[in-house]
Structure 1
Amino acid sequence: MKRTRRPTVRMWRWRRNPLRRRIDVVEAWLVLGAWILAVVCALPVGLVTQAAVQHDLDRQRVERQRVTAVLVADAGDRPTVSEADGDLVWADARWTTADGQTRTGLTKVRPDTPAGSRVTVWTDQAGTLAAEPVSPGEARLQSVLAGVLAGAVAGAVVIGGSYGARVVLDRRRMAQWDAEWERVDTRRGGRTG
């Protein structure tokens, strides 16, 4: 059996049509407005987020400095940091801050590192341990991805809101159709002509 394909009628809500109701036109304008608003909102939200993340990562790169620390004890029997870091372990290290204070803290080192070894750590302006700042290329990539994600979320929120409004319009349309069927249904005493 051969299946015939019915032609689709595009943009029917915008054309003159005896079956088109006012609610169909409202829905068409709602969908158009939602897509325009989603694009108009997503772009600035994405750009602002990208700039904020880029600024924060640049600030971290400026504020953090590399410091040489000395291991206080052997790193041998410590538990590993995580699967992603390979076989690095936590070890106690001591370093001197820019204002001359001596501090200690845990840093990641290889398990075979003996006490007294010099290791490189990163500190913030207060002299506490901090993560190594990302490179300019990584910062650019992270900020662009954050901007795209934020823009997509903003657009999705607008489109989701329009979908909720369309659900309300569909319920209203169904109620109108039910009322119309009640009026013309011959089984319930309605007239056909």
Structure 2
Amino acid sequence: MRGNRSAGRLWRWRWRRNPLRRRTDVVEAWIMLVLWTVVLVGGTLAGLMTAHAAVQASAWERAQRHAVAAVVLADVPRATTDVGNAYRKMTEVHWAAPDGTSRTGRTLVKRGTESGATITVWQNDRGALTPQPTGTTEGAVEAAFFGGSAALAVACAALGIGALTRRLLDQGRLARWAAEWELIGPRWSQRTS
């Protein structure tokens, strides 16, 4: 029981009245309290807001992009000499835009696809080809990753500021201690007979 009480006193030593407590100790205690509040509250808020924004962006992407059937206009050879993309190749496709007009464009198609084959492509509301939208599961994973990254960024910034502040306070304390030692040290080193 006594060990728990002394641990609490040790934690609060900068807040209690104490003849050895310096003004910089109180300043440091307040700065650390504010910084840990920023880490906990600010990091949580930044993470939640970023995750929410990522979920909304993913939902907007799914709402704006639509799957449509397209016809491949040229054979896509199976053999490859391309090093970069051996699985798919850019080729011409034909599809109908949302307003009913006929469109032609280039997209990546699986190798070995023959001319006239029907594939699924994604288009926006204007009928332009777009990448496939992020799925709900992938969007949730991205939102969690972005939210965690935002919280971590806030925490790292706050803790970095705290470390720099403590270092500056320590340098000031050491400089004052050295100046005081210059005054007191010679008195202690005098020999008495």
Partners of 1:103 and 1:131 in 2: CA distance: 16
Partner deviation per Cα, 1:120-161 (whole Å, 9 max, x = no partner): 101111211111112222222221221121112112212212
Partners of 2:174 and 2:125 in 1: CA distance: 64
Query: Aligned with 1:91: secondary structure?
Result: strand
Partners of 1:157 and 1:101 in 2: CA distance: 52
Deviation at 1:184, TM superposition (A): 1.2
Partners of 2:90 and 2:178 in 1: CA distance: 71
Aligned AA (1:26): V
Partner deviation per Cα, 1:68-118 (whole Å, 9 max, x = no partner): 111121211663664xxx622222212121112332222222211112211
Deviation at 1:17, TM superposition (A): 4.9
**Residue 105 of structure 1: aligned partner:** 105
Partners of 1:156 and 1:68 in 2: CA distance: 48
Deviation at 1:18, TM superposition (A): 4.6
Q: Percent identity of the aligned residues?
A: 35
Deviation at 1:29, TM superposition (A): 2.1
Query: Aligned with 1:126: secondary structure?
Result: coil
Runs of at least 5 residues in structure 2 that lack an aligned partner in the other structure: 1-6
**Residue 60 of structure 1: aligned partner:** 61
Query: Aligned with 1:89: secondary structure?
Result: strand
Partners of 2:182 and 2:127 in 1: CA distance: 78
Q: How many residues align?
A: 180
What value does the CA root-mean-square deviation take over the aligned residues?
Answer: 2.6
Query: Aligned with 2:98: secondary structure?
Result: coil
Partners of 1:186 and 1:45 in 2: CA distance: 55
Native 8 Å contact 1:80 1:90 kept in 2:
no
Partners of 2:167 and 2:105 in 1: CA distance: 57
Would you say 1:36 and 2:23 are equivalent positions? no
Partners of 1:139 and 1:70 in 2: CA distance: 29
Q: Which has the higher helix share?
A: 2
**Residue 28 of structure 2: aligned partner:** 27
Normalised by the length of structure 2, the TM-score is 0.81
Query: Aligned with 2:112: secondary structure?
Result: coil
Partners of 2:103 and 2:83 in 1: CA distance: 23
Deviation at 1:30, TM superposition (A): 1.5
Note the 1:1-193 alignment, pairs <5 A.
10-11=10-11, 12-14=13-15, 17-76=18-77, 79=82, 82=85, 87-186=87-186
Partners of 1:137 and 1:157 in 2: CA distance: 30
Normalised by the length of structure 1, the TM-score is 0.81
Partners of 2:184 and 2:127 in 1: CA distance: 82
Aligned AA (1:132): Q
Partners of 2:130 and 2:167 in 1: CA distance: 50
Aligned AA (1:119): I
Query: Aligned with 1:185: secondary structure?
Result: helix
